[in-house]
Chain A
C-alpha cells in the first residue's frame, strides 16, 4: 500500500510544475489522502512490529552478557550445534505435517457440515469450533492428562484391547505424534470454518453444470470445488503455517521440548536457551531463523494468489 502511494507521488512530480501545484495535485489524489488518514495506524503498527524486530536483530549480534558486539557470532555458534539442526528439522516436520492434517480434516469436516440441513448446521458449526475457542494452554493441560503414561484415559482404554501402555510423551516418536495431534485438534476447526465459508460461496449452478457435463463426485471436487477454493486454501494454509511454525504453548505444556529436546521447535527452544538458559542474544538468534523460512513460503503462496486474483 505504502509503496504504491510513494510511486504515484513520484509520477505526480514528474511534470515538474511548480512546487506548490504539485503538492496540491498530490493532496487531491485519493490514494494520498487515504495514506495520510491511515498514517497513525501505520505508525502504530511500525512501532509494535518494526521496533521489536529491529531490536531482536540488534540483540542477536551481542554476546551472552549483552555487553559486546560479536556480529554473526551467535549464528556461527548455532550452526555448529546438532540441537539447532534437530530443532530446524522438528519445526519443519511439526508445522508441515500439522498443517497438512489440519487442512485435510478441515476440508472433510467442512463438506460434512455443508451437507447438513441448514437448520441443524449452526449447532454443528458451534460444536466443532469448540477446540479452537478454548485457550490452548487449558486444553493442552487436558490433553496432558489424557496422555499420562500410567493412569490416563487413552492408555486405560487401549489396555482393553491388549495395547500399550504407550509412552505418549516419553518416547521421541510418540511425543512428536502427540504434539502434532494436539495441534491438529486445536487448529482444524479454523480450517473447517474457512473452508465452509468458501464452500458456501461456490454457486450451486456450477455443480449442476458439472453434473450435466458428466462429472462424478470426485471430479466435481477436483474440477469445481478445489479451483474455486484455491485462494482461500492458499491464504488459510499460509496463515496456519505461520502460526503453527511459531507455536509455543502446546509444545511447552505437553512435552516442554522433551524427551531430550526431541520435540523442541523454534519458539520453545528459543525460550529454553534465551530465558531459561539466560542467553537472550542466542534465543533472539534462534527465533530470527523463523523469518527467512516463513518469508519464502509467504512469497510463493502470495505470488500465486495475486496471479489468479482476477479470475474469480
Chain B
C-alpha cells in the first residue's frame, strides 16, 4: 500500500498538451476517482501513473519513490482495463495467476491467493473456464481478481464499467466498493460517469482540458462547486444557469433575473455577495431539486414565482418540469401530485439558500 503523488505532471503529444501540469496527492488506502468529459486527460493521467505513457514533464511518486522512468512491471501496480484485457488463451485461474507465475511465486501460494480472490469475487465456479465462456460482468470480475491476487501498492481502474449494461454497472459498482472496503488498497479510478465518481470515491478529481478543475469529496463537489464546469458536470439533471445581476432595493440586496422577476437575497447569502460589483454579468446557479412547487408556508429564503411549463417528465417519485427563463431552459423537480402539465401554468418556488452565484465571464463560483 502506498500514497501516490503527481507534481506538475505534463503530457505532450507533438504539439498537443493532453495533460497540462497537474498536482495531485493521493493518500494511502484512499479511493480517488478522476472524472471528466472525453479528452480531458484523465485516462492519460492514469496511464502515466501506470507507466504505460512517458511523462513529458514533472514527477510521479509511488510510496515516496519517484517512478518517472520505472517500467510498469516494477511499479507494483495492478490495472483493470475497459475491455478487461484478459488473455483469451488462458483459463480464469491462469489469467489471475499470470503475474504471480512470472514472478516465480511458490505454487501453493499462487493457488491459495487465486482461490481467495475468486471467493471474494464469487467466481470460484468459473475458475477453469476461458474468457470467451464468460459474460461481461464475469469477465470484469476476473479482471479485478487478476489485480487483487497481485496484492499491489496501487489499483488503477480505466473506465472498467463502461462496457457493461446499466443494471450490471450498478451491481459492479457496489462490488468494487465492497472489494475496496476489504482490501483497502490505494485506488485511482477513471470514469466519465459522474454518478460512478460520486458513489465510489473518497475524493473526486474533476478534470477538464488537461487541468484539474476541482478536488474534493463527492459532497463538497456537489454543494460547493468551484467553477461552472464542475457545477454543471456533477449532478443529474444538471444545475440550471440563468443570467442575472445584483441590485440594491430599499437597502436590501436583491437578485434580479428579469425585468419583472427579482428575489430578495436571503441573509446568509447577502453577506457573502455584498462585495460583488452590481454591474458584473452574473449567472444564478440553482439545482433542479431547489426549484419545487410553491406551498402554503414557505421557509425563509424560498421565494415563489409563476411560470408556464414547456415540458413535464413524470419520473414516478417526482416530476421534472422544464420552463424558460430569460432564454435559458430551467429544470425543476416537483411533487408528482403538484398538478404539473405540459404547457400549463404552475406556481413554483426557488430555494435561494442553496443558490450559487457565478461570474459569467470567468465561470468562477463566487
Contacts and interface: CB of A to CB of B under 8 A. Distances in A.
Interface stretch (A108-116, A130-138, A200-208, A247-255): A200-208
Interface size class of B (residues with CB under 8 A): 20 to 34
B260 interface: no
A214 B85 contact: no
With a 10 A CB-CB cut-off, give which of A206, A216, A228, A308 has the most chain B CB atoms. Answer: A206
B81 A213 contact: no
B89 A227 contact: yes
A216 B73 CA distance: 8
A37 interface: no
A203 B102 contact: no
A212 B89 contact: no
A208 B52 contact: yes
A116 B62 CA distance: 33
Interface in B66-102: 71-73, 77-79, 81-83, 85-89, 98-99, 102
B88 A213 contact: no
Which secondary structure dominates where chain B touches chain A?
A: loop
Interface residues of A, number: 22
Contacts of A210: 87, 98
B146 to A, nearest CB: 8
B365 to A, nearest CB: 38
Contact of B73 (A205, A215, A223, A308): A215
Contact of B85 (A209, A308, A310, A312): A209
A208 B85 contact: yes
Given A209-B79, A211-B71, A212-B72, 18 more contacts: A205-B83, A205-B85, A208-B50, A208-B72, A209-B81, A209-B87, A210-B87, A211-B72, A213-B98, A214-B99, A214-B103, A215-B102, A219-B102, A223-B87, A311-B89, A311-B130, A312-B88, A312-B132
Interface of B: 50-52, 71-73, 77-79, 81-83, 85-89, 98-99, 102-103, 130, 132, 146, 150
24 contacts: A205-B85, A206-B85, A208-B50, A208-B79, A211-B71, A211-B73, A212-B50, A212-B51, A212-B99, A213-B73, A213-B99, A213-B146, A213-B150, A215-B73, A215-B98, A219-B102, A224-B87, A227-B89, A228-B88, A230-B89, A310-B130, A311-B88, A311-B89, A312-B132
